[in-house]
């Protein structure tokens, strides 16, 4: 049995840090283990211009615990009024690493997102020209589509037509949750990759619904049937370079989760590497954990892999993680994988 594993320092290719007191309360859980992260722009108000992104980056760096080395990779929130020239200027400056497409109403703070993809085409065409990646929240939000089918319908009705129209556009399908998504990425010949979260490798929809409503397992895209979870596990542990880690770690204070209309989001930054080592060990794939967490993402985004390493150690006794973390904004419940975690970042 493997009891130690040294890998390149990982990156998180989909992260919510929020702002203000919440940002200050959670950023250390990421910067402790991760060297870089793609930062989601769905603040209130959202990060829509290069100037917004620069100011947000400054706030993130100011909140870093002393001595931590961490690089926030900034994104812009795509709207129907986004200026292609501003996007290109941000990209050319090295500040903007991607633009995020939120279908309006798809998730937290997405009401200002895109309703008519045609109105965003000037920006998307410019991105295809300059090689800037589009990150997509791959769900339709039309009320007639069942919430468990939103991803599959998005691929069929939005993503595939867009990629046929703009084959040069680089697209990251973020937080893939279905076998449909996995198969679509595997069938592509170029310019498509997918991030996979920690929690979607571990939970299916039973975790949310069986034995009572479990709000801390509720996220968007919502967890699906077991067949989809198994497809995600197979993709993540395969070594296929088109799949990589994007935790979608999304802190909400407990009162906003534990209520009649709770927020979507699961907080995994603090224990992701322990959870991933457990999953990859179960799949007899520890040798491919580095590819998923540390190598495939940088290669897709055109960045070098980190030179620093981290060491994972399998402890005889389970590793203790807090049930909640305290932030200046309030308490945040930590993801419970529902099994003991023996792997620890030494």
- Does 52 count as an annotated binding residue? no
Contact 42, 77 (CB under 8 A): yes
- Does 228 count as an annotated binding residue? no
- Does 33 count as an annotated binding residue? no
Based on the residue annotation, tell me whether 248 is a catalytic residue of this protein.
Answer: yes
Please tell me whether residue 313 adopts helix, strand or coil conformation.
strand
- Does 229 count as an annotated binding residue? no
309: cis peptide before it, omega within 30°? no
- Does 248 count as an annotated binding residue? yes
**Cα separation of 223 and 217, whole Å?**
8
- Per the listing, tokens 């290069």 go with 50
- Does 42 count as an annotated binding residue? yes
Please tell me whether residue 172 adopts helix, strand or coil conformation.
strand
- Does 17 count as an annotated binding residue? yes
Torsion angle, alpha carbons of 87, 111, 102, 215, to 10: 140
- Does 169 count as an annotated binding residue? no
β partners of residue 331: 326
Kindly report the length of the chain: 346
- Does 220 count as an annotated binding residue? yes
Which residues does 241 contact at the CB level (< 8 Å), separation at least 6? 193, 291, 295, 296, 299, 300
Which residue is catalytic, options 86, 248, 254, 284? Answer: 248
Tokens of 78: 């795509």
- Which is it for the CA torsion 102, 303, 192, 266, positive or negative? negative
**Cα separation of 309 and 121, whole Å?**
41
- Does 342 count as an annotated binding residue? no
- CA triplet 185, 125, 40: central angle to 5 degrees? 60
CB half-sphere exposure, 117, CA atoms < 13 A: 20
- Does 16 count as an annotated binding residue? yes
Which residues does 45 contact at the CB level (< 8 Å), separation at least 6? 112
Residue 176 φ/ψ, nearest 5 degrees: -60, 135
Could you tell me which residues are annotated as the binding site for substrate?
A: 16-18, 42, 137, 220, 252, 264
Catalytic residues: 248
Could you tell me which residues are annotated as the binding site?
A: 14, 16-18, 42, 100, 137, 175, 220, 248, 252, 264
Could you tell me which residues are annotated as the binding site for Zn(2+)?
A: 14, 16, 100, 137, 175, 248
């Amino acid at each position: 049995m493997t009891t130690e594993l040294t890998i390149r320092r990982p990156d998180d290719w989909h992260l919510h840090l929020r702002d203000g007191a919440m940002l200050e309360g959670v950023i250390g859980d990421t910067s402790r283990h991760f060297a870089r992260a793609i930062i989601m722009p769905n603040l209130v108000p959202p990060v829509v211009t290069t100037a917004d992104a620069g100011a947000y980056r400054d706030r993130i760096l100011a909140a870093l615990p002393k001595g931590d080395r961490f690089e926030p990779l900034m994104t812009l929130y795509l709207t129907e009024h986004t200026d292609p020239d501003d996007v290109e200027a941000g990209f050319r400056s090295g500040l903007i690493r991607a633009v995020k497409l939120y279908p309006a109403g798809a998730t937290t703070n997405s009401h200002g997102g895109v309703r008519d993809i045609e109105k965003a085409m000037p920006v998307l065409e410019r991105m295809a020209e300059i090689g800037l990646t589009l990150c997509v929240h791959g769900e339709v939000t039309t009320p007639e589509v069942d919430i468990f089918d939103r991803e599959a319908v998005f691929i069929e009705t939005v993503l595939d037509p867009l990629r046929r129209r703009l084959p040069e556009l680089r697209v990251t399908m973020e937080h893939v949750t279905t076998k449909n998504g996995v198969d679509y990425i595997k069938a592509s010949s170029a310019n498509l990759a997918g991030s996979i979260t920690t929690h979607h490798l571990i939970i299916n929809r039973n975790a949310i619904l069986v034995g009572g409503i479990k709000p801390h397992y509720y996220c968007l895209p919502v967890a699906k049937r077991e067949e989809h979870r198994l497809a995600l596990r197979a993709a993540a542990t395969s070594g296929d370079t088109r799949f990589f880690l994007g935790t979608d770690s999304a802190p909400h204070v407990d009162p906003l989760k534990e209520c009649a209309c709770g927020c979507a989001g699961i907080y995994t930054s603090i224990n992701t590497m322990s959870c991933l080592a457990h999953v990859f060990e179960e799949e007899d794939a520890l040798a491919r954990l580095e590819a998923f967490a540390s190598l495939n993402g940088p290669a897709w985004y055109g960045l070098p892999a980190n030179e620093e390493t981290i060491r994972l150690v399998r402890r005889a006794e389970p590793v203790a993680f807090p049930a909640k973390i305290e932030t200046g904004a309030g308490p945040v419940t930590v993801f419970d994988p529902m099994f003991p975690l023996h792997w620890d970042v030494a």
